[in-house]
Amino acid sequence: MDKEPTTATKQRMLDAGLTLLLEQGYHGVGVQAVLDAAQAPKGSFYHHFNDKEDFALQVVDAYMTGVHAALDASLSDSSRAPLDRIRGFFELVSQGYEHDGYLGCLLGGLGQELSGASDVFATKIDWCLGYIAGRLAEPLGEARARGDLTVAEDPAVLAQRLVECWEGAALHSRLLRDPSPLPAMLDFYFRAITRVPDDG
Amino acid sequence: MDKEPTTATKQRMLDAGLTLLLEQGYHGVGVQAVLDAAQAPKGSFYHHFNDKEDFALQVVDAYMTGVHAALDASLSDSSRAPLDRIRGFFELVSQGYEHDGYLGCLLGGLGQELSGASDVFATKIDWCLGYIAGRLAEPLGEARARGDLTVAEDPAVLAQRLVECWEGAALHSRLLRDPSPLPAMLDFYFRAITRVPDDG
DNA sequence: TGACGCCTAGACCGTATGGTCTAGACCACT
DNA sequence: AGTGGTCTAGACCATACGGTCTAGGCGTCA
């Protein structure tokens, strides 16, 4: 972590960028809008960031900082069963969505918008989602070792599916501006990999 | 179907729009780019469309025309089991994705990009995805009636989950420019609602 | 106190954008 | 032949965009 200290102005711009990019997307947000929201002049923007793309990438980094924190907070709690830890992670994430008015996931949003035209973003977002899946694979492996799972698939693969499912539910949540698809999808996913389905 | 006949020029613009919007998104595509791709002058664009938003909405309609065709073609084949018909639908959709270079789903793309700032688009895309889910609910209901399902949930709810799962896989496919998440997700989903998982 | 580096400040620039406007080609109908 | 509607054609406009540039405030260290 040999990062420079990140001045207050830069942090304000990143914070504003997080909100604005989530709501309006990359091309929907002008540099000026970030400046206005962060109460900063243009000079500061181009002092701290090479260009708009660099800015957005750093916003993604800032977003991932929060994700890391949520992952660490949830997955390390060894008093809970592995699958419960995963659930805890997504509950934290959901709380973040609530705070933003249920606009879904920044990674999904920017990924959809930019990955068709920008390899840089496609690679970055894919890496981020893959990282999350990688972290979730560990408790999934634990769960399998404990015999909690009723499916035999590689935990890494199961984790990929989980993240994909979540992103799909997050899109629906964004369209509805409503959280309901999120826990519904989690329930569906966990039932799929654990309990034998019951047709009662 | 009391639609006006849609001139060749208008159709060229819609076709170009489909490709361009899928690749670059709404804000990433200028009207001029559509004009160039369709070899049409600006006058034609604003003759056939009120504005850029109207154009994009009509591109979505054109996209849905293809979806309807795929739904009709797949779901009506009563010689196949209901779940096989659903699989057939997504196989057709996948072929469309292949044709476009695995850029995912236009509905997911525009939904993510625009639904934060435009209620019109949010509502429209949600309606489209809901319509697809509605169509898929029928064969799911049939499957349940036949005893093919091992879950008791409402077919409409299961169909919602399916569409969400698919959109999540389509995003991953787009990021990777690779189809592999699509059949993987379908396998996961169908296993979840049918066969008892096997830990062999 | 002078010099240097970091950061703020905002005027300014070239370009591309969405959208308008007028002119005219083409076709059907009378 | 004349007329009206549909569609093509592209010059044109105001604005907003991403990005550059110079100037100045401010703290630090010699």
Tens of pLDDT, residue by residue over A63-82, are 999 999 999 999 999 999 99
Lookup: tokens for B87 = 């699989």
Question: What ipTM score was computed for the predicted complex, to two decimals?
Answer: 0.95
Of B25, B161, B167, the CB nearest to A27: B25
Q: Are A110 and A26 in contact (CB under 8 A)?
A: yes
Residues 120-179 of A with CB under 7 A from strand D: none
Tens of pLDDT, residue by residue over B156-165, are 999 999 999 9
DSSP assignments along A59-86, one per residue: HHHHHHHHHHHHHHHHHT-TTS-HHHHH
Question: Which residues of chain A make contact with B193, given a CB cutoff of 8 A?
Answer: 192, 197
User: Closest-CA residue in chain B for A121?
Assistant: B175
Tens of pLDDT, residue by residue over B62-92, are 999 999 999 999 999 999 999 999 999 999 9
Residue B1 has pLDDT above 90, yes or no: no
The pLDDT score that the predictor gives to residue A180 is 98
Q: Are A173 and A185 in contact (CB under 8 A)?
A: no
User: Closest-CA residue in chain A for B128?
Assistant: A175
Identify the burial level of B5 via C-beta atoms within 10 angstroms of its C-beta, where 0-12 means exposed, 13-18 middle and 19 or more buried: exposed
In this prediction, residues B42-52 reach a mean pLDDT of 98
- Cα distance between the two ends of chain B: 54
Question: Which residues of chain B make contact with A191, given a CB cutoff of 8 A?
Answer: 151, 192
Q: What is the pLDDT along chain A (200 residues), one digit of tens a residue?
A: 444 578 899 999 999 999 999 999 999 999 999 999 999 999 999 999 999 999 999 999 999 999 999 999 999 999 999 999 999 999 999 999 999 999 999 999 999 999 999 999 999 999 999 999 999 999 999 999 999 999 999 999 999 999 999 999 999 999 999 999 999 999 999 999 997 654 43
The pLDDT score that the predictor gives to residue A29 is 98
The pLDDT score that the predictor gives to residue A6 is 84
Closest amino acid to nucleotide D23 (CA–C1'):
A43
The pLDDT score that the predictor gives to residue A196 is 61
Identify the burial level of B33 via C-beta atoms within 10 angstroms of its C-beta, where 0-12 means exposed, 13-18 middle and 19 or more buried: middle
Cβ–Cβ gap A164/B172 under 8 Å = yes
Q: Which domains does chain A have, with CATH numbers?
A: 51-193 (1.10.357.10)
In strand C, the nucleotides that come within 7 Å of a protein beta carbon are: 6-12, 16-23
User: Closest-CA residue in chain A for B191?
Assistant: A192
Cα–Cα distance between A91 and A94 in angstroms, integer? 5
DSSP state of A196: P
Query: Helix B155-176 to helix A155-176 angle, to the nearest 10 degrees?
Result: 110
Residue B15 has pLDDT above 80, yes or no: yes
Cα–Cα distance between A137 and A130 in angstroms, integer? 10
What's the CA–C1' distance between A177 and C15, in Å? 37
Cβ–Cβ gap B151/A197 under 8 Å = yes
Cα–Cα distance between A45 and A67 in angstroms, integer? 25
The pLDDT score that the predictor gives to residue A4 is 57
Cα–Cα distance between B52 and B125 in angstroms, integer? 17
The pLDDT score that the predictor gives to residue A94 is 98
Residues 34-63 of B with CB under 7 A from strand C: 42-43, 46, 51-53
In this prediction, residues B137-160 reach a mean pLDDT of 97
Which nucleotide, over all strands, has the C1' atom closest to the CA of B5?
D6
Check residues B5 and A83 and name the one with the higher pLDDT.
A83
Cβ–Cβ gap B117/A198 under 8 Å = no
Which nucleotide, over all strands, has the C1' atom closest to the CA of A40?
C8
The pLDDT score that the predictor gives to residue B180 is 98
Closest amino acid to nucleotide D16 (CA–C1'):
A30
Residue B37 has pLDDT above 50, yes or no: yes
The pLDDT score that the predictor gives to residue A61 is 98
Lookup: tokens for B98 = 């292949």
